[in-house]
Each structure stands twice: as structure tokens, then as C-alpha cells.
Amino acid sequence: MVSGQAGVGKTALAVHAARTLTPYYPDGQFFVDLGGFSAVSQPRDPVNVIGDLIATLGVHRNDVPEGLDARSMLFRGLIADKKMIIVLDNVQTLEQVRPFMPGEETCLAIITSRNRLTGLITTYQALPLPLSTFTNGEAQDYLSKRLVERAVHRQDIPLLAEIASLCDKLPLALSTVVAKAVYRSELSLSAVAEELRESEDPFSFLNDPDPSVDLKTVLSCSYRSLGSLPAGLLSRLSWSDKSSTDVIEAGGLMNVASSVARSALLSLVEASLIEEIQPGHYTVGRLIRASARLLLESGPARSLHTSGTPSGASEGETSSHSRGSHNTRD
Ligand SMILES: Nc1ncnc2c1ncn2[C@@H]1O[C@H](COP(=O)(O)OP(=O)(O)O)[C@@H](O)[C@H]1O
Ligand SMILES: [Mg+2]
């Protein structure tokens, strides 16, 4: 169960693992993108996806039963005596993956999600693999290897370190820098660093015309799927000067009791939007803050920032400060 923020390398890892483990699973592999956090499409309906898999396993389309339960049972039966890998990529909920879970241990399911999906651990004894961004060294190595035609020299290392840091050491952000540099030979490393450092909107540089890899679009998909309280807290954190917070401070930002703030923080951790660096202490990446800020500027959630109270906080959940009642999220 590979979890982590958008662009951290979950799909890349799942594909690499499936490829590496091929000798142990000689009967084949399925790769299914369930589209849980897609900028361009809705999450895929498991009933259709499993129908396709059954057909791929040799069952005539006319013989594929209707209904998810019947399809799931047939699918499990078909793979029961096989050694296969099933990659379920971009999953949003436990319910989305349940029908595909093999009944036998001869098959391996590799699941990726921005959500931690702890239910998978409880129900299927899944092995959790939360992915972090690159370390400083990995990010710099990545840049210098991919920018090989720039002939990166020793004296460039501080610039690489700065670019890595301004990109939150996020693989997708670093790949975007590389893609820009490839086509703009006049763009020096110092110009890249300057663009990223000086611009209020890092996505004016870190962008791509393809929404499936455009960083702001990709990040904002996680933001949009949040409930009202965590979304309200993320809004406030994104406008705050600080990149870290704790329960007390978060409660103050939201005008809610600490227990409510804690639950909102946990939801943000669950969605891989913030990280708990020490018990009770959380940090928010620069790019996530920037994307949340931009979304607020253009979206209905702006009222979350300007009002006294996040939408969705019930009477009992709020403190005694003055409150608004914007219902901008579901
Ligand atoms: N370990 C890695 N080494 C090099 N590049 C990586 C690594 N992990 C991810 N990438 C690159 O980062 C980008 C985002 O990775 P991806 O797997 O699509 O992220 P996610 O699935 O978490 O959104 C891709 O361009 C991918 O090739
Ligand atoms: Mg992915």
C-alpha cells in the first residue's frame, strides 16, 4: 500500500516494483488506474473496470455477469490458481479496491493512493509504504543527472540545492523543472532558481499544458476532495506565514476547540497534504500552500479564509468566537 502526496512517485514505484517482481509472478500483471484523484476524469466505476479485467482473462463479454459482487467473485475465481500482480493505481477509497482484492496469496496487489487507506491494513493486512519526497541529496542527484547536457559543475551545487528546496524536493516538481530546461537552453540554473524564488506564484514557472502532469492541477485535486473542516484549516495554513503548526495554533486559526483542530489535522495527514514531523507538530509544503492559496483566490472556498469560521463546523465544534456559516464544501 503505497501512499503519499501527489507527484511524490507512487505510480513510478508501483510500476518499478511490479516490473522487478515479474519473475515471481509469471502469470501476468494488470495495471489499473482507478482515477481517484484525476484532474481530467471521474474515479472509474469498479464494476466496469472489473468487467474489462474478466474479459482480458478470456471470458467472452456476453458471459461477464452483471453486478459488482458477481463480477468480483468470478474475478477472484479466475485468478485463484494464478501468480499475478494487480496494480491498482490512484485509488481514493477502500471500497474502490475491495472487489479486486485477490482471495489467494499467490497474487500480489500493489495499491497506490494519496490517502493512507488504513482500512486496507486492518482488513487485508496490507503492508503500508508511506512515500516521502526526495532527501536533499536525492533531489540534487536527480537534477544533476537529468540536466546532464547542462554540464552541472561543482559550483552549481548550491543552486541545485536551492532549486530542490524551492520545489519541496517533490519528484514531479523537479521533473517539471527538467522539462522546462530541456526546451529552453537559454534558461540558466540561476534563472530557474530566481524564477522559483521571486515569483509569488511558483506555478507560473512550474506548469505543463497537460493537466495530468500540471503541478497546480494535480495538487489541487487533493485539495478539492477534502471535507469542509480540513479544507478550512488548509486554507488558513496556506495564508499563514509559517510552514509548520501544532494543534493549539491550528485551533486558534480555525476558531475551534483543540479536539476539532486535531481531527482536521489528522484528515490532512491522511490525505498526505501535511506531514507530522514530531508528535503534535505538522508541516505544510511550500507548493501545497501555494496551490491552496491560488485555489482560494479563484474558488468558492475563498470565504473560508475571509470568514471567521470554516464551513461545516457545527455549533458544538466551534469556540465562542463570532462565526460565519458558509457551506462551500461537501
Ligand atoms: N524515484 C524516482 N526517481 C526518479 N524520478 C522519479 C522517482 N519517483 C518519481 N519520479 C518522477 O516524478 C514524477 C511523478 O511521479 P509519479 O509516480 O507520477 O507520482 P505520483 O504517482 O505519486 O503522483 C514522474 O515524472 C516520475 O517519473
Ligand atoms: Mg500516480
Q: What is the pLDDT of residues 69-85, one digit of tens each?
A: 999 999 999 999 899 99
| Domains detected in the chain | 2-130 (3.40.50.300), 136-204 (no CATH), 217-317 (1.10.10.10)
Determine the pLDDT at residue 324.
32
134 SS3 class: coil
For ligand 1, is residue 9 a contact (CB within 6 Å)? yes
Cα–ligand 2 centroid distance for 273 (angstroms)? 15
Write out the H or E segment, with its range, that includes residue 261. helix 258-270
DSSP for 191-203 reads HHHHHHHH-S-GG
Query: Is pLDDT above 80 for 55?
Result: yes
Cα–ligand 1 centroid distance for 114 (angstroms)? 13
Query: Is pLDDT above 50 for 143?
Result: yes
Determine the pLDDT at residue 329.
32
Q: What is the mean pLDDT of the chain?
A: 86
Query: How many CA atoms lie within 13 Å of 213's alpha carbon, on the beta-carbon side?
Result: 14
For ligand 1, is residue 267 a contact (CB within 6 Å)? no
Determine the pLDDT at residue 31.
97
Query: Is pLDDT above 50 for 204?
Result: yes
- Residue 114 CA: which ligand 1 atom is closest? 22
* pLDDT over 90 percentage in the chain: 71
Angle subtended by helix axes 136-146 and 171-183, to nearest 10: 20
Query: Is pLDDT above 80 for 139?
Result: yes
Nearest CA to ligand 1 atom 15: 9
Q: Ligand 1 pocket check: which of 2, 175, 182, 291 to mutate, most ligand atoms within 8 Å of Cβ?
A: 175
pLDDT band at 192 (very low <50, low <70, confident <90, very high): very high
Q: What is the pLDDT of residues 108-119, one digit of tens each?
A: 999 999 999 999
- Centroid of chain to Cα 92: 10
Q: What is the pLDDT of residues 220-234, one digit of tens each?
A: 888 777 888 999 999
* pLDDT over 70 percentage in the chain: 88
Contacts for 162 with CB less than 8 Å, ≥ 6 apart = 193, 197
